């Protein structure tokens, strides 16, 4: 018999009640680190505060996420008692996401009973609870629920509640013990914040509960402050020295304290999602989700269910409720790529969601409020699309509050060598092999127009790394690169007006031979045939122009 099943058969509610009363021990892992951070929050001394990130919001999120994961709870709530009334501080789902409209979903009867009795409510499943508790669960539409009162200094400061609608809980004993420890720690931290005074050190409390010693020496990088306008954000994920992109960075800095909609325009492969992520990372929403969707990759029906979610039974295969990306991104940023490919019907639904700040799941009746910043992107000229009647003008103005145009790679050729090195470094970390690039190959790569932009360059570098030896030379380049990346007539004639006839002829002759060598991959016999010159003449000119080694 498993540990879980033995606990459940031996009155699971009673076992959980006993552990709640006695405390217990457990392994020091992720929860141990969380306990240490909660101890810092409960102890406001300057030394303790500097030992780690004691951001209350982040700690409460982590606290509920650990509880939900330990017992596989569908929803978990942290509730504070303010002026004698329960106030939902944090509500989380099993997917480690914030729960929308938590007040409407909170099991009010269970919360009220826990506040009145100051005693925990244990309903691990409908079969393991008394008739009164079973009736409360049924009235709330739940299969299982647990509510733990948070008491500090004899006062009820809040409670933790977690629930399941479709199945019971099956926590192992260690899992129950850790939830008890976390609840006790949360009691002290919550009271410390509410009362604004120092309480007993949590490390002493934890020693009493389970003999666990938390040193308080766990360190964590402090939260990054919101970048001020013009202060310069973090753009380390974007490889560039282009003045055009640095101007874009300055624009993003100015948006850091705002949540206005942004439309990013640019060709495919220019890095629109990377810029969207930078906007999110340098905004006040950076600690909330960033969610992206390619609107051009889905049909209208699929896109609607992806963005807005659906309810059970909405269509064949909808066996359970599912939240959409608007709900997932609540409080954060939703990036809609290729928004110009949306159907007219989907454009209308998106406009309504943006205007009213609410969404309705497919097949559902309830309206769900959402707080989402929209960043959209397209490789189309939406102004032209509006004139042609293919894109709604009212939606265009909703999305186009701020416009950012990304330059094509051919417009910032100075970044090509940097990007080549960057991609080679990434490949080296994957394969353990770092390859160099011949200067002539780099020159050809820089001359190429790159219609697929950075994405095409990345794929080409990976291909070259696979096919070449220790050094990537011109002979490995594809025929298209060799042809299109060769100097054109304008390049060859540059400066001819200041040359003598002899020097101009030599320059042109050298470039023609060099180009032929590259195209023929160093095969001098083929070069002689292509240029229609005797081999002896070719060898002489190769020596004259220093092209022997190509």
CATH number, residue 427: 1.10.8.60
Of 171-185, 392-406, 436-450, the range with the lowest mean pLDDT is 171-185
Token readout for 292 is 């992206």
The domain spanning residue 531 has which CATH number? 1.10.10
Which residue, of 357, 378, 407, is where some domain finishes? 407
Establish if 15 belongs to a structural domain.
yes
Which residue, of 443, 473, 503, is where some domain finishes? 473
- Band of pLDDT at residue 207, cut at 50, 70 and 90: very low
Q: Considering the chain, what percentage of its residues have pLDDT values greater than 90?
A: 27
C-alpha distances in Å from residue 212, one per residue of 37, 41, 53, 200:
14, 18, 21, 16
Q: In this structure, are 399 and 500 located in the same domain?
A: no
Over the stretch 291-306, which tens digit does the pLDDT of each residue have?
999 998 888 989 999 9
C-alpha distances in Å from residue 487, one per residue of 74, 449, 509, 516:
63, 12, 13, 12
Q: In this structure, are 426 and 494 located in the same domain?
A: no
Which residue, of 420, 443, 473, is where some domain finishes? 473
Establish if 59 belongs to a structural domain.
yes
What is the number of structural domains in the chain?
A: 4
Give dist(CA 149, CA 156) in Å, integer: 7
Establish if 481 belongs to a structural domain.
no
Residues 6 or more apart whose CB falls under 8 angstroms from that of 26 comprise 174, 177, 178, 181, 210, 212
Residue 380 main-chain phi, psi, to 5 deg:
-100, 160
Q: In this structure, are 362 and 437 located in the same domain?
A: no
Contact between 377 and 263 under an 8 Å Cβ cutoff? The reply is yes
Largest alpha-carbon pair distance within the chain?
A: 106
Token readout for 137 is 């669960």
pTM of the predicted model over 0.75: no
Q: In this structure, are 505 and 419 located in the same domain?
A: no
Q: In this structure, are 38 and 137 located in the same domain?
A: yes
Q: In this structure, are 417 and 492 located in the same domain?
A: no
Over the stretch 61-86, which tens digit does the pLDDT of each residue have?
777 887 787 778 888 898 888 777 88
The domain spanning residue 67 has which CATH number? 3.30.450.40
Q: Which has more pLDDT, 341 or 24?
A: 341
Of 1-10, 517-526, 534-543, the range with the lowest mean pLDDT is 1-10
Give dist(CA 536, CA 314) in Å, integer: 80
Average the pLDDT over 104-113 and give the result.
86
Q: What's the whole-number average pLDDT of the chain?
A: 76
Average the pLDDT over 439-462 and give the result.
91
Token readout for 126 is 């409908």
Average the pLDDT over 259-282 and give the result.
93
Q: In this structure, are 11 and 132 located in the same domain?
A: yes
Segments forming the whole domain that contains residue 371: 243-407
What single-letter DSSP state applies at residue 95?
T
Q: Is the pLDDT of residue 220 over 80?
A: no
Rounded to 10 degrees, the C-alpha dihedral 406/411/412/414 comes to: 170
Q: In this structure, are 249 and 172 located in the same domain?
A: no
Q: In this structure, are 419 and 391 located in the same domain?
A: no
Q: Is the pLDDT of residue 230 over 60?
A: no
Over the stretch 458-472, which tens digit does the pLDDT of each residue have?
999 999 999 888 889
Q: In this structure, are 403 and 418 located in the same domain?
A: no
Give dist(CA 63, CA 19) in Å, integer: 19
Q: In this structure, are 264 and 361 located in the same domain?
A: yes
Establish if 393 belongs to a structural domain.
yes
Q: In this structure, are 441 and 388 located in the same domain?
A: no
Q: Is the pLDDT of residue 504 over 60?
A: yes
Sign, Cα dihedral of 258, 259, 264, 268: positive
Contact between 287 and 58 under an 8 Å Cβ cutoff? The reply is yes
Establish if 237 belongs to a structural domain.
no
């Amino acid at each position: 018999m498993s540990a879980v099943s033995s606990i459940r058969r031996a009155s699971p509610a009673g076992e959980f009640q006993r552990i709640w009363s006695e405390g217990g021990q457990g392994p020091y892992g992720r929860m141990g680190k969380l306990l240490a951070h909660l101890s810092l929050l409960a102890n406001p001394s300057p030394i303790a505060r500097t030992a780690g990130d004691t951001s209350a919001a982040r700690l409460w999120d982590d606290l509920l996420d650990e509880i939900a994961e330990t017992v596989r709870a569908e929803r978990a709530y942290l509730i504070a008692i303010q002026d004698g009334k329960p106030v939902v501080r944090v509500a989380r789902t099993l997917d480690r996401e914030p729960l929308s409209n938590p007040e409407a979903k909170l099991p009010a009867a269970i919360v009220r009973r826990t506040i009145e009795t100051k005693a925990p409510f244990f309903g691990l499943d409908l079969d393991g609870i008394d008739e009164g508790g079973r009736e409360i669960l049924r009235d709330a539409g739940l299969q299982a629920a647990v509510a733990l009162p948070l008491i500090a200094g004899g006062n009820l400061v809040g409670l933790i509640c977690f629930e399941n609608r479709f199945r019971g809980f099956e926590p192992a004993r260690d899992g129950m013990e850790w939830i008890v420890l976390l609840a006790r720690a949360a009691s002290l931290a919550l009271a410390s914040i509410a009362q604004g005074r120092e309480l007993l050190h949590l490390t002493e409390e934890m020693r009493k509960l389970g003999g666990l010693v938390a040193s308080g020496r766990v360190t964590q990088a402090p939260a990054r402050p919101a970048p001020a306008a013009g202060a310069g954000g973090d753009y380390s994920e974007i490889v560039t020295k282009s003045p055009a992109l640095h101007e874009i960075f300055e624009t993003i800095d100015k948006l850091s304290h705002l949540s206005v909609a942004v439309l990013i325009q640019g060709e495919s492969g220019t890095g629109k999602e990377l810029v969207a992520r930078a906007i999110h990372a340098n905004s006040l929403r950076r600690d909330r989700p960033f969610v992206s969707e390619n609107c051009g990759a889905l049909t209208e029906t699929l896109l609607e269910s992806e963005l807005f979610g659906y309810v059970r039974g909405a269509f064949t295969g909808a066996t359970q409720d599912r939240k959409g990306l608007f709900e997932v991104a609540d409080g954060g940023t939703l990036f809609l790529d290729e928004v110009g490919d949306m159907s007219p019907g989907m454009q209308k639904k998106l406009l309504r969601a943006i205007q009213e700040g609410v969404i309705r799941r497919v097949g559902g009746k309830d309206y769900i409020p959402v707080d989402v910043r929209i960043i959209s992107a397209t490789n189309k000229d939406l102004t032209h699309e509006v004139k042609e009647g293919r894109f709604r003008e009212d939606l265009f103005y909703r999305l186009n509050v701020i416009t950012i145009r990304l330059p094509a790679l051919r417009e910032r050729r100075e970044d090509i060598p940097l990007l080549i090195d960057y991609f080679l470094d990434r490949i080296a970390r994957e394969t353990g092999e770092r390859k160099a690039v011949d200067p002539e190959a780099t020159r050809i790569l820089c001359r190429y127009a790159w219609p697929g932009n950075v994405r095409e360059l990345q794929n080409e570098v990976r291909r070259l790394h696979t096919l070449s030896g220790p050094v990537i030379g011109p002979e490995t380049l594809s025929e298209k690169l060799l042809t299109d990346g060769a100097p054109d007539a304008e390049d060859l004639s540059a400066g001819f007006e200041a040359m003598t006839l002899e020097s101009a002829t030599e320059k042109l002759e050298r470039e023609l031979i060099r180009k032929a060598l590259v195209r023929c991959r160093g095969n001098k016999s083929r070069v002689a045939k292509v240029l229609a010159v005797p081999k002896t003449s070719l060898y002489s000119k190769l020596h004259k122009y220093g092209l022997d080694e190509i």
